[in-house]
Each structure stands twice: as C-alpha cells, then as structure tokens.
C-alpha cells in the first residue's frame, strides 16, 4: 500500500473537484500542503479530516441504551472511525452507574489496521486514571487495549486529540449549558451524540452543538440519504444525500431569447 498520495491528481486539468478523507494532522501547514494542488488550480474540494466527537448522557437517558451505544460509538472497528464518540460527558448523578456498566467485561476487540495509531496512542495517554482491559497482550498485530480514561481534564491531549483507537475519555458534568460548552471546546466538529428521553431537550442541545451531525439516542448511524460531513477543523463540504452531489455539480444559467428584441 502506498504511504502517500500522488500530488498530481488534484491539479490535473481534467479534474473539476477533489474529495479527500484523512485523519487530521496536528500542524495546519501539513494539512494545507496536501490540498494546495487543488486550491492552486481553483478546484472544488471536499474534505473530511477527523474528529473528537462528544457524547452527552443526561440523567433521564435510558441507561441500557446509553451504555450500549457509548461502547459501540468508540469500540466498534477498534475505534478507527473518524466520527468515533471518544469524549463521553455523563451527568454526575448517574456517573457511577454508567461507569460500572461500561466497564463490565463482555466483549473482545480486534487489532488496528495499521501501525501509526498504535504508536500514537501512548503519546497522548497521559493524565487521568486509566481503566485498561486486562486481556493478555497480543504479539501478532497492531493491538491497543480498550482504555477508558477518567479524572481527565478538558485541556489534556487525550481529551483534545484524535487517538483513532479504542480509547475513550469519561467526563462528568452538572448542568446542560456546561455540557454543551465543553462539548464544543475542541477544534473538531464532525459528529456528536445526545442521550435523553426528552426530545424537547434533545433538539435544542443538538442545535447548540458545533458539529456536522448529531445522533439522538444512538451513535454512528449512517444512511446514504443523509448528508455526512463536519465543521471547524473536521472538514469542508458534505458527501451522501442530495448535498453530497453538490460538490460534483455546477450551476449553469442558460438565457434564451424567444423574441426579436435586442
């Protein structure tokens, strides 16, 4: 497998647009270097560059569903999902119950698909108390043990940077406004999830969260009819749905004179 994409295709004269998906590198100049060929030739560009998606669990949430989807949202595909809900904000009064259920040993997790996330994970796993799977290490494959971080702060690297692995941070909150503010305290804005049985709460919270997609009482749902994409440093444009076709379309105006007027 190639380690880098060719710089030629985005600027090729026969191309009218470019679609790029990648894990966002930390340095802005590294990102721009990848996409300058398209920008320099005035090509339309659609980007999806990763995320650090929040998941909010309110006191009235269905606990069984919240735990199930929280686990699925970060551990499915070994956490190698750009929309992985890797920051879980849980209301303080239900935090002990939520943690007890989330940490119950019941599932195995496979290896990562490539080496880079495995090498990166230990560099950002600093601070906070870690609950790590006690399963024995696997020698064959890029394995990272499922890890749940508690007692972390919003400013720590593990809370701010994409690990792209089975690593999740659990953060308590006391008030709705606080949860929204902290959920938005990131450079990313790809996905988010809200767990509550009160739709009159769910919709205003979803509207306030800065992300391209919000799931209510689920995580990682995807439908080809629904636009997919992010805001902030998570990308530009959309794919899927009618909005996904816009990136590959141009609006043309045709004027027809049906009379003899000049």
- Whole-number Cα distances in Å, 85 to 30, 70, 119, 179: 25, 7, 21, 15
- Residue 48 falls in the annotated catalytic set: yes
Q: Which residues contact 203 (CB under 8 A, 6 or more apart)?
A: none
Would you give the distance in Å from CA 86 to the centre of its chain?
Answer: 8
Catalytic, out of 48, 161, 162, 239: 48
How open is the CA angle 159-71-101, to the nearest 5 degrees?
105
Would you give the distance in Å from CA 55 to the centre of its chain?
Answer: 11
Count the alpha carbons within 13 Å of 175 in the hemisphere toward its beta carbon. Answer: 3
Strand ranges for 136-179 from DSSP E = 147-150, 167-173
Task: Tell me whether residue 80 is exposed, middle or buried, using C-beta atoms within 10 angstroms of its C-beta: 0 to 12, 13 to 18, 19 or more.
Answer: middle
Which tokens belong to 114? 């490539």
Count the alpha carbons within 13 Å of 252 in the hemisphere toward its beta carbon. Answer: 3
Q: Which residues contact 6 (CB under 8 A, 6 or more apart)?
A: none
Residues with catalytic annotation?
Answer: 48
């Amino acid at each position: 497998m190639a380690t880098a994409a060719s710089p030629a295709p985005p600027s090729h004269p026969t191309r009218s647009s470019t679609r790029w998906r990648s894990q966002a590198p930390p340095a802005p100049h590294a990102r721009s270097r990848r996409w300058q060929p398209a920008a320099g030739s005035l090509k339309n560009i659609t980007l999806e560059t990763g995320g650090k998606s929040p998941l909010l669990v309110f006191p009235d949430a269905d606990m069984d569903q919240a735990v199930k989807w929280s686990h699925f949202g970060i551990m499915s595909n070994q956490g190698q999902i750009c929309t992985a809900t890797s920051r879980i904000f849980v209301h303080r009064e239900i935090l002990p119950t939520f943690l007890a259920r989330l940490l119950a040993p019941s599932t195995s997790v496979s290896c990562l698909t490539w080496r880079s996330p495995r090498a990166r994970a230990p560099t950002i796993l600093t601070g906070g108390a870690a609950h790590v799977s006690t399963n024995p290490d696997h020698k064959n494959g890029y394995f990272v043990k499922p890890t749940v971080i508690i007692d972390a702060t919003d400013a720590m690297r593990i809370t701010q940077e994409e690990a792209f692995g089975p690593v999740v941070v659990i953060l308590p909150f006391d008030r709705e406004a606080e949860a929204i503010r902290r959920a938005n305290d990131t450079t990313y804005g790809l996905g988010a999830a809200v767990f509550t049985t009160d739709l009159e709460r769910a919709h205003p919270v979803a509207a306030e969260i800065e992300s391209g997609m919000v799931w209510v009482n689920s995580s990682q749902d995807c439908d080809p009819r629904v636009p997919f994409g992010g805001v902030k440093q998570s990308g530009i444009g959309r794919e899927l749905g009618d909005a996904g076709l816009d990136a590959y379309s141009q609006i043309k105006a045709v004027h027809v004179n049906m009379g003899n007027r000049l």
